[in-house]
Chain A
Amino acid sequence: ETGVTQTPRHLVMGMTNKKSLKCEQHLGHNAMYWYKQSAKKPLELMFVYSLEERVENNSVPSRFSPECPNSSHLFLHLHTLQPEDSALYLCASSQASGDYNSPLHFGNGTRLTVT
């Protein structure tokens, strides 16, 4: 496996369910990110982790809970979601956060539908 891998690719969940999104990077990077992508809207940065420490939390509702157990893995735990949370959730990694010569490498995303 190379690059950034996200599972599952698709997820349908009810508003009362609890689920988790998983991201794994095989690039030896030190920073990992969660982004939300909605149709015809700019990417929204949700969380940034640098060396497993959360360095950014962009006023994301508490029904989204990130976890970074090590520099290769990132999770997004979901509970009590709303239909407007339906979107493509993208994980990304970079060599370092805040380094402009360190581009983002994205996974292919998890398409989440909340019913």
Chain B
Amino acid sequence: QKEVEQDPGPLSVPEGAIVSLNCTYSNSAFQYFMWYRQYSRKGPELLMYTYSSGNKEDGRFTAQVDKSSKYISLFIRDSQPSDSATYLCAMSRIDSNYQLIWGAGTKLIIKP
């Protein structure tokens, strides 16, 4: 079993829709949770970062962590064609010296 599971997609939705991207994980010791966005032919860039459980909002993006279910989500409101990219989740333990464990990424396509 992989430590982090992420549906590779592609997930195709119309412009303006609410998008939900998800990762599940098996290690209950994970405390730090991140979402990176990777455009085609570019490197990943950090989008959101949360510690432990709860929600964090930044503009149209909301990151949610449910540690009891070992499940994290990224919601995108009012999705735009410019949001089309691959979204990578990553997480780490507090004692892991920055050994991030990554999901394989979900490819998102926003249709105009």
Interface residues of A (CB under 8 A from B): 4, 40-43, 45, 48, 55-56, 90, 92, 94, 97-100, 103-109
Contacts and interface: CB of A to CB of B under 8 A. Distances in A.
Given A98-B97, A100-B92, A42 B44 contact: no
B102 A108 contact: no
Contacts of A100: 32, 51, 92, 94, 98
A42 B43 contact: no
Contacts of A43: 44, 88, 90, 100, 102
A89 B43 CA distance: 10
A99 B98 contact: yes
Given A42-B4, A48-B98, A108 B104 contact: no
A45 B92 CA distance: 13
Given A100-B92, A100-B98, A40 B34 contact: no
Interface of B: 2, 4, 8, 32, 34, 41-46, 49, 51, 88, 90, 92, 94, 97-105
A100 B92 CA distance: 9
Given A42-B101, A48-B98, A99-B98, A104 B42 contact: no
A45 B99 contact: yes
Contacts of B51: 100
Contacts of A48: 98
25 contacts: A40-B8, A41-B104, A42-B4, A42-B102, A42-B104, A42-B105, A43-B44, A43-B88, A43-B102, A45-B99, A48-B98, A55-B97, A56-B97, A56-B99, A94-B98, A97-B97, A98-B98, A100-B32, A100-B92, A103-B46, A105-B46, A106-B43, A106-B44, A107-B43, A109-B43
Nearest to A104: B46
A42 to B, nearest CB: 4
3 closest cross-chain pairs (CB), A and B: A106-B43, A42-B102, A103-B46
Contact of A108 (B32, B41, B94): B41
Contacts of B94: 100
Contacts of A41: 104
